[in-house]
Amino acid sequence: EIVMTQSPATLSVSPGQRATLSCRASRSISSNLAWYQQKPGQAPRLLIYAASSRATGIPARFSGSGSGTDFNLTISSLQSDDLAVYYCQHYHNWPPFTFGPGTNVDIK
């Protein structure tokens, strides 16, 4: 089973500042990585797939990078609406698909 880890667990960022979230896989997953945003009380929403491709309707301030074992999600200019937990998930050599434990982004 591929284990996904995320850091930091919590990130406090001022509006307008950059936020960088990290995700690491226990072994290479090529670019088979997705990022999801989950706002309080809501279902997850797909942000990024194939490590760096933005999903339909996702603002350009969200970007993904990385391949192999190390990945980043960057929010270039944080807005108050970005308060959420962000999860990474691999889809390489499943089952199982596994998610990281999440990074909680709050607004400073």
Partner 1 sequence: EVQLVESGGGLVQPGGSLRLSCAVYGFTFRTYWMSWVRQAPGKGLEWVANIKADGTEEYYVDSVKGRFTVSRDNAKNSLYLQMNSLRAEDTAVYYCARDVLVGFWSGYSDTWGQGTLVTVSS
- Which one of residues 16, 43, 60, 81 is an interface residue with partner 1 (CB under 8 A)? 43
Question: C-beta of 65: minimal distance to partner 1 in Å?
Answer: 17
CB closer to partner 1, 49 vs 75? 49
Only one of the segments 10-18, 21-29, 36-44, 67-75 lies at the binding site for partner 1 (rule: CB under 8 A); that segment is 36-44
Please return the burial class of 61, using the count of CB atoms within 10 Å of its CB with bins 0-12, 13-18 and 19+: middle
Binding status of residue 7 toward partner 1 by CB under 8 A:
no
Binding status of residue 49 toward partner 1 by CB under 8 A:
yes
- Which one of residues 20, 63, 91, 107 is an interface residue with partner 1 (CB under 8 A)? 91
Binding status of residue 46 toward partner 1 by CB under 8 A:
yes
Tokens describing residue 98: 């596994």
Question: C-beta of 78: minimal distance to partner 1 in Å?
Answer: 22
